[in-house]
Structure 1
């Protein structure tokens, strides 16, 4: 997946959690081996070349492709599982795999889990009594500063994902043209229960632009968002204030 993962795991029986953490890391390496578009021998690359069928791939491939299809449907095509005409589900793989390993750790008995996959975070439980998880959102126009702090107070699961041009430049594609998305936005941060969807929605909303993206995000259940334009204008969904702190 070409990114760095970090784990903050609290509570649970130490040996069980340690084993689950080792399994989580192994899962991430396996996901990279199966889904990497940079590996010629990955299952997704071979599937794209027609050397494998979906049925011949690991079950996770069909699962991810199903998630991609749902993301394309909900976003009216603004999320895409292709790049330059080639199968490329990586827009959903990172969020899905991060969420999956976080849930694996929680299932092993951890009472607080934070998994950060390249800046996108899945939170479960809490780090301590009366202490919610908090996630800082970088200000893309002021390096080293925060645009907001998201709090998981009052909820058992929360995720935060950002799509934009600050870190990786113009890498988000407009599915209508197949070229880099040209919008008034520099960053979209989306907050919701599941990182699988939050990550996909941030990408789709960025491609839409601030006006259409904000309207669409407002229509999604259990989703809040912060959008920052190149002109330093901040736009938020109506319920975002309840998640800040």
Structure 2
């Protein structure tokens, strides 16, 4: 139990999170798989599905995660993961955020994300993508034509693009880009959990909230969390037969020419 308390504290103390390799290195944990399972269980209870939806004025857009690859740019790029993001716009800054993986930028996919994360009747600011008008039925839609404005997207929609920049920096910095598409929703939930509590005056409150969620969650195992099994392609041959004793360490002192008297 002490290791769990230490793991949760390390997990919440840093603003950008920790990797399983780091947790395995600093705590008395037997294997990397155990450390990964502990962090995955914590990420599982960080979901915002039970939280209040975003309200008021919300800025929304999509981005791709997966690093630079050859091929088509923008919406429809192959080999990358499409992520939708939304961020509340407050009079004195930015509020809460939501991130989620979506299969495509169609009206049906965007509508499902909007219904799950933004309260009905809110004002949603987006670009002029053709799928948004039908996806935002029941909302006040304020489209911004980025191409006609002559400004780059990060200036026309600054809030949500700052959100995307932060999540990409977190994924590349903390996890060195070593994440799988299957587990990406968990990493996004972790980022949103931290981002929405960035103004907390005490890290102990974040620790307490995560501890409460972890204690109330159901028991899961490594096999429940590991969505994709990736065994080693080549197993080491190992050592067979009798083993010889190691050589002696009784050797003469190495020559040190710089210590010779001149």
TM above 0.5, one fold?
Answer: no
Larger radius of gyration between Structure 1 and Structure 2: 2
Provide TM-score, normalisation by structure 2.
0.27
Structure with more of its chain in strand, by fraction: 1
Provide TM-score, normalisation by structure 1.
0.28
